[in-house]
């Protein structure tokens, strides 16, 4: 009887948890809810993996003082998306990741872009795609002005979703190159 009673309590608690959880929505309902919260994307920005990758780099690039088109930027990201830089800890004891919302990135980015030019471009890309999801390792080069030598290189790890209508950025997780962590040859050319 004790085991039966314990099983009942476990099942009751699990049922109560599931009863409180919101019912799953259809992908179409999720897509409509997202559209209500996010600026409408330019169709050419989200029609393909190539297009959305180009749009991300394009929208953050420009001269010092130029206000970026942050509505265009926001339109590329799914609701709840994250931007996550990985960088050395100040005390030198390893690396840490800082998780930013799209709004956090916009606020920090515009402040930096107000004082210096920033042009980021893709130097190479490695893509793995299955079904509606894609993982892209995009080797980037950042410059203060077009044609200058890059002041930093690194890898942006993009996770993307195609909802059946368009591509969305889910996360961008990146790390800059250092002398201790150089970009290796396989990430300096795109496979054909």
User: pLDDT for 48-65, tens place per residue?
Assistant: 999 999 999 999 999 999
133-169 confidence digits (pLDDT tens): 999 999 999 999 999 999 999 999 999 999 999 999 9
CA–CA separation, 102 and 83 (whole Å): 7
In a domain, 192, yes or no: no
Q: Is residue 12 part of a domain?
A: no
| pLDDT at res. 133 | 98
**Residues 18-48: pLDDT tens digits?**
333 444 444 444 444 444 468 999 999 999 9
**161 in any annotated domain:** yes
Residue 5 domain-assigned (yes or no):
no
Give the count of domains, the chain: 1
- pLDDT, residue 179, reads 92
- Among 3-12, 167-176, 178-187, the range scoring the smallest mean pLDDT is 3-12
For the chain, give percent helix, strand, coil, nearest 5.
Answer: 35, 35, 30
Residue 147 structural domain: 26-184
In a domain, 10, yes or no: no
Q: Residue 99 sits in a domain of what CATH number?
A: 3.10.450.50
Q: How confident is the model at residue 97 (pLDDT cuts 50, 70, 90)?
A: very high
In a domain, 67, yes or no: yes
> Domain for residue 145, yes or no?
yes
Give the span between the Cα atoms of 112 and 106, in whole angstroms: 10
Q: Is residue 114 part of a domain?
A: yes
Q: Is the pLDDT of residue 16 over 60?
A: no
65: left (phi over 0), alpha (psi -120 to 50) or beta: left
- For residues 109 and 88, what is the distance between their CA atoms, to the nearest angstrom? 20
Q: Give the pLDDT score at 21.
A: 40
């Amino acid at each position: 009887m004790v085991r039966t009673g314990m099983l009942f309590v476990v099942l009751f608690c699990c049922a109560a948890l599931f009863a409180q959880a919101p019912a799953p929505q259809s992908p179409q309902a999720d897509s409509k809810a997202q559209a209500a919260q996010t600026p409408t994307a330019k169709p050419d920005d989200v029609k393909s993996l190539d297009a959305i990758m180009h749009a991300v780099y394009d929208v953050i690039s420009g001269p010092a003082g130029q206000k970026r088109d942050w509505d265009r930027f926001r339109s590329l990201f799914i609701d709840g998306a994250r931007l996550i830089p990985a960088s050395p800890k100040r005390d030198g004891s390893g690396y840490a990741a800082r998780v930013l919302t799209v709004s956090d990135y916009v606020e920090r980015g515009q402040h930096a872009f107000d004082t210096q030019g920033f042009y980021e471009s893709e130097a190479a890309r490695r893509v793995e795609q299955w079904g509606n999801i894609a993982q892209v390792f995009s080797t980037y080069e950042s410059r203060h002005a077009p044609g200058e030598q890059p002041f930093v290189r690194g890898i942006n790890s993009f996770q993307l979703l195609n909802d059946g209508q368009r591509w969305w950025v889910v996360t961008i997780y990146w790390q800059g190159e250092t002398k201790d962590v150089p970009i290796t040859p396989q990430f300096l050319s795109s496979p054909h």
